[in-house]
Amino acid sequence: MLKEIAARIKQGYRTAPFPSREMKMPERYLGLPIIDRKKCDGANCMKCVNSCPVSCITKTDKGVTIDLGICIFCGECARACSSGTISFSRNYAMSVNNRADLKLEGKTLKLAKALEDKSKAIFGRSLKLREVSAGGCNACEADTNVLNTLAWDLGRFGIQFVASPRHADGLLITGPVTKNMLLALKKTYDAVAEPKLVIVVGACAISGGIYKGHPETKNGVENMVPIDLYIPGCPPHPATILDGLLRLLGRIE
């Protein structure tokens, strides 16, 4: 027993310091895109638009716009843009309250705000979520599961995933919502008692992602249920997911 105690002391504190200190992301991490419209070669240059595999980039006389709700963060647009109009930062904070706020036009994003006081009083100290994988590829689900590991320890914030919607305060939804999962999603949503929250994670859940327009999917959760938090990415980094959850609960601003 003494050996086990000594080994544990030697290991030290393993949980990430987030949110007391910002996470240091890897050099190859592609976070929040930065658009510098002043560098753009003009309306005739369509390199970034043509390079995007999911058509998340639009271009007008005013400049470039990236829809983060569709973006898969592949970086092709930045590589194709010879003028440096588009680049990717290591900023993992990208969650928003409204779908329209995911349309990035410059260097900043209107990040998620905390719940109103009444809702924060209910969910702020203890939030139980039922995760629904609505036809996802398991990438978003894997990064969500990572939050339960020692390095992240989601439970220290009072946030837990539960097995039944009847025990939940809300839903965390991933995947493009396939036809086979549509009824299951609706039944799960109805089984959660009011008041409840809905959090959508990943490009697929927000817009359909790489499956957008496929006849077997519903292009995400939009217009099915009220959504309180959008967390973009393909998949979102665990730091992005946790950052969004804590912003919604008013733990960070």
Domains of the chain: 117-248 (3.40.50.12280)
Tell me the pLDDT band of 96, cut-offs 50, 70 and 90. very high
* Longest pairwise C-alpha distance within the chain: 71
Between residues 15 and 162, which one has the greater pLDDT?
Answer: 162
pLDDT at 138 over 80: yes
What average pLDDT does this structure show over 223-246? Answer: 96
Cis, peptide link before residue 235, omega less than 30° from 0: yes
* pTM for the full predicted model: 0.93
Instruction: Mark residue 177 as left, alpha or beta (left: phi above 0; alpha: psi -120 to 50; beta: remaining).
Output: left
Identify the pLDDT of residue 127.
96
Tokens matching residue 67: 């829809």
According to DSSP, the β-strands at 197-201 and 229-231 are: parallel
Average pLDDT across the chain, whole number? 92
For residue range 47-92, list pLDDT tens digits in order.
Answer: 999 999 999 999 988 889 999 999 999 999 999 998 899 999 999 9
Rg (CA), the chain: 19
What average pLDDT does this structure show over 97-123? Answer: 91
Q: What's at 15, amino acid-wise? A: T
Weakest mean pLDDT among 10-19, 117-126, 187-196, 223-232: 10-19
246 to 41, 114, 239: CA distances (angstroms): 39, 8, 10
What average pLDDT does this structure show over 173-199? Answer: 96
Tell me the pLDDT band of 187, cut-offs 50, 70 and 90. very high
Using a pLDDT cut of 90, give the percent of the chain over it: 75
| CA atoms within a 13 Å half-sphere pointing along the CA-CB vector of 87 | 11
What average pLDDT does this structure show over 215-234? Answer: 95
Tokens matching residue 144: 């969500």
Closest CA to 175 of 147, 207, 143: 207
Tell me the pLDDT band of 42, cut-offs 50, 70 and 90. confident
